[in-house]
Amino acid sequence: MSKNKTVPNDTPVSDFLAQVSPESKRQDAEDILAMMSELSGEPATLWGGSIIGFGQYHYRYDSGREGDFMRVGFSPRKANFSLYIMGGFENHQHLLDQLGKHKLGKSCLYINKLADIDQQVLRQLISDSLAHMQQRYPES
Protein backbone atom coordinates (compact mmCIF):
# COMPACT_ATOMS: atom_id res chain seq x y z
CA MET A 1 0.00 0.00 0.00
CA SER A 2 1.40 3.43 -0.91
CA LYS A 3 2.32 6.00 1.70
CA ASN A 4 0.91 9.52 1.75
CA LYS A 5 3.14 12.03 0.00
CA THR A 6 1.73 14.95 1.97
CA VAL A 7 3.25 14.61 5.44
CA PRO A 8 4.34 17.17 8.03
CA ASN A 9 7.90 18.43 7.86
CA ASP A 10 10.20 20.66 9.91
CA THR A 11 10.37 23.63 7.55
CA PRO A 12 9.35 26.71 9.53
CA VAL A 13 6.01 28.07 8.30
CA SER A 14 7.47 31.59 8.51
CA ASP A 15 10.20 30.61 6.02
CA PHE A 16 7.60 29.23 3.63
CA LEU A 17 5.38 32.31 3.91
CA ALA A 18 8.34 34.63 3.32
CA GLN A 19 8.50 33.18 -0.21
CA VAL A 20 4.85 33.96 -1.03
CA SER A 21 4.35 36.79 -3.49
CA PRO A 22 2.98 39.27 -4.25
CA GLU A 23 2.89 41.06 -0.90
CA SER A 24 -0.93 41.19 -0.92
CA LYS A 25 -1.08 37.37 -1.17
CA ARG A 26 1.49 37.03 1.61
CA GLN A 27 -0.59 39.33 3.84
CA ASP A 28 -3.76 37.32 3.14
CA ALA A 29 -1.80 34.14 3.94
CA GLU A 30 -0.67 35.66 7.25
CA ASP A 31 -4.30 36.57 8.04
CA ILE A 32 -5.54 33.05 7.23
CA LEU A 33 -2.68 31.63 9.32
CA ALA A 34 -3.77 33.75 12.29
CA MET A 35 -7.43 32.80 11.82
CA MET A 36 -6.79 29.06 11.60
CA SER A 37 -4.30 29.16 14.49
CA GLU A 38 -6.84 30.90 16.70
CA LEU A 39 -9.78 28.68 15.75
CA SER A 40 -7.89 25.38 15.91
CA GLY A 41 -5.76 26.19 18.94
CA GLU A 42 -2.99 24.29 17.15
CA PRO A 43 0.43 25.39 15.90
CA ALA A 44 0.92 25.69 12.15
CA THR A 45 2.92 22.93 10.47
CA LEU A 46 4.08 22.72 6.87
CA TRP A 47 2.70 19.60 5.16
CA GLY A 48 4.40 18.56 1.96
CA GLY A 49 5.98 21.53 0.24
CA SER A 50 3.14 24.03 0.26
CA ILE A 51 0.28 23.28 2.66
CA ILE A 52 0.02 24.87 6.10
CA GLY A 53 -1.93 22.57 8.39
CA PHE A 54 -3.27 22.70 11.92
CA GLY A 55 -3.83 19.70 14.14
CA GLN A 56 -3.78 16.11 12.98
CA TYR A 57 -6.00 13.05 12.87
CA HIS A 58 -5.56 9.40 11.99
CA TYR A 59 -7.92 7.82 9.44
CA ARG A 60 -8.50 4.28 8.30
CA TYR A 61 -10.58 3.46 5.22
CA ASP A 62 -12.54 0.24 4.69
CA SER A 63 -9.93 -0.63 2.03
CA GLY A 64 -7.31 -0.84 4.76
CA ARG A 65 -5.51 2.33 3.70
CA GLU A 66 -4.71 4.51 6.67
CA GLY A 67 -2.69 7.57 7.49
CA ASP A 68 -2.51 10.92 9.19
CA PHE A 69 -3.65 14.29 7.89
CA MET A 70 -4.28 17.82 9.11
CA ARG A 71 -7.61 18.80 10.67
CA VAL A 72 -7.73 22.08 8.72
CA GLY A 73 -5.27 23.93 6.52
CA PHE A 74 -4.56 26.10 3.52
CA SER A 75 -2.14 26.66 0.69
CA PRO A 76 -1.37 29.99 -0.98
CA ARG A 77 -1.22 28.69 -4.55
CA LYS A 78 -0.32 30.94 -7.49
CA ALA A 79 -3.86 31.01 -8.90
CA ASN A 80 -5.76 31.14 -5.60
CA PHE A 81 -5.89 30.00 -2.00
CA SER A 82 -6.84 26.39 -1.39
CA LEU A 83 -8.47 26.06 2.03
CA TYR A 84 -8.75 22.49 3.27
CA ILE A 85 -12.06 22.23 5.10
CA MET A 86 -11.94 18.56 6.03
CA GLY A 87 -15.53 18.37 7.25
CA GLY A 88 -16.77 19.03 3.72
CA PHE A 89 -19.54 21.36 2.61
CA GLU A 90 -22.70 19.26 2.25
CA ASN A 91 -24.37 20.78 5.33
CA HIS A 92 -23.14 24.34 4.79
CA GLN A 93 -24.98 25.69 1.76
CA HIS A 94 -26.46 28.52 3.85
CA LEU A 95 -22.92 29.69 4.74
CA LEU A 96 -21.60 29.22 1.22
CA ASP A 97 -24.45 31.40 -0.07
CA GLN A 98 -23.17 34.20 2.18
CA LEU A 99 -19.44 33.65 1.69
CA GLY A 100 -18.77 35.60 -1.49
CA LYS A 101 -16.69 34.70 -4.53
CA HIS A 102 -15.43 31.10 -4.23
CA LYS A 103 -15.25 27.68 -5.89
CA LEU A 104 -15.49 24.25 -4.29
CA GLY A 105 -13.77 20.90 -4.50
CA LYS A 106 -14.60 17.89 -2.31
CA SER A 107 -12.85 19.25 0.79
CA CYS A 108 -11.30 22.35 -0.77
CA LEU A 109 -12.58 25.88 -0.79
CA TYR A 110 -10.88 28.06 -3.40
CA ILE A 111 -10.75 31.83 -3.00
CA ASN A 112 -8.71 34.43 -4.86
CA LYS A 113 -8.26 36.84 -1.96
CA LEU A 114 -9.78 37.58 1.43
CA ALA A 115 -11.32 40.81 0.14
CA ASP A 116 -13.61 38.68 -2.09
CA ILE A 117 -15.30 36.94 0.86
CA ASP A 118 -17.01 37.56 4.19
CA GLN A 119 -14.32 36.56 6.68
CA GLN A 120 -16.86 36.00 9.49
CA VAL A 121 -18.55 33.38 7.29
CA LEU A 122 -15.16 31.79 6.60
CA ARG A 123 -14.49 31.68 10.36
CA GLN A 124 -17.81 29.88 10.84
CA LEU A 125 -17.01 27.33 8.10
CA ILE A 126 -13.63 26.61 9.71
CA SER A 127 -15.15 26.34 13.19
CA ASP A 128 -17.89 24.01 11.96
CA SER A 129 -15.33 21.84 10.17
CA LEU A 130 -13.14 21.59 13.27
CA ALA A 131 -16.18 20.60 15.35
CA HIS A 132 -17.09 17.95 12.76
CA MET A 133 -13.54 16.58 12.80
CA GLN A 134 -13.49 16.50 16.61
CA GLN A 135 -16.72 14.51 16.59
CA ARG A 136 -15.59 12.12 13.86
CA TYR A 137 -11.95 11.78 14.95
CA PRO A 138 -11.74 12.69 18.64
CA GLU A 139 -8.34 13.84 19.81
CA SER A 140 -6.81 11.41 22.25
Decide: 85 and 109 in contact? Cβ < 8 Å: yes
Q: What is the mean pLDDT of residues 40-67?
A: 92
Structurally, how many domains does the chain consist of? 1
CATH code: domain of residue 113:
3.90.1150.200
pLDDT at 2: 58
pLDDT at 66: 84
pLDDT at 5: 77
Q: How far apart are CA 131 and CA 129, in angstroms?
A: 5
Q: Is residue 84 in some structural domain? A: yes
Q: Considering only 23-32, 60-69, 93-102, 120-129, which range has the smallest mean pLDDT?
A: 60-69
Helices (H), 88-140: 93-99, 119-136
0.85 exceeded by pTM? yes
pLDDT(76) > 60: yes
